[in-house]
Amino acid sequence: MLLPANDGPTALVDRLVEAPGHPGDIVAGLFLASVFFNLRVEAARLAAAGCRWVANLPSVEQHDGEFTAQLADVGLDRDREIAALAAFRERGFAIAAVVVDEAGARSAAAIGPNAVIVMPRVGDFAAGFPSLRQRQSAVQSVARALTASGWRGPRLGLGESRDVESRELWPQGLDALLCRPRRW
């Protein structure tokens, strides 16, 4: 699901380009470490459709450390995602950088994203949706790194739709929540 096994990012761009509505109001979450993703072509298509935001979602960083290291050995890593985000920024897009820890936050801060999205690792879902404690711990470590780097901007985190109405259910330090997709 989080690896380049098909034309996932390109297929998503196809849907965004074809979809009626307001593509400028969405953030295109793209697997930017994919070796099959032609950034130059897809950035032009997104821009022509009016899409103004891009995020590295899903991110290879969401995997556990050992698997992330194996992906880095073949160039499917955070550096590839950060370089792709920077390339989108150079093309006039606003960027939202997905991070899971302090190291990712430092890398993201270096390119000056418009927003940072703190996501849990895949393993955090082993017993269901990650607890507030787990999510709070990640947000705090990311916040420390962002503050130390001098980056100031909106921080978003993962939540459930029921959390939206009650800010007490949000990890402290977030400006907004991204809710898990659900079937309509």
SS3 96: strand
pLDDT in tens, the chain (184 residues): 455 555 667 777 877 777 766 666 788 999 898 888 899 999 999 998 889 999 999 888 888 777 777 776 676 789 999 999 999 999 999 999 999 999 999 999 999 999 999 999 988 888 889 988 999 999 999 999 999 999 999 999 998 888 888 888 888 899 999 987 766 5
**Domain limits, the chain:** 8-179
Q: Which residues share a beta bridge with 115?
A: 96
Q: What is the pTM for the complete model shown?
A: 0.88
Distance CA 182, CA 82 (A): 28
Q: How many CA atoms lie within 13 A of 54 on its CB side?
A: 28
- The class of domain 8-179 in CATH terms is alpha beta
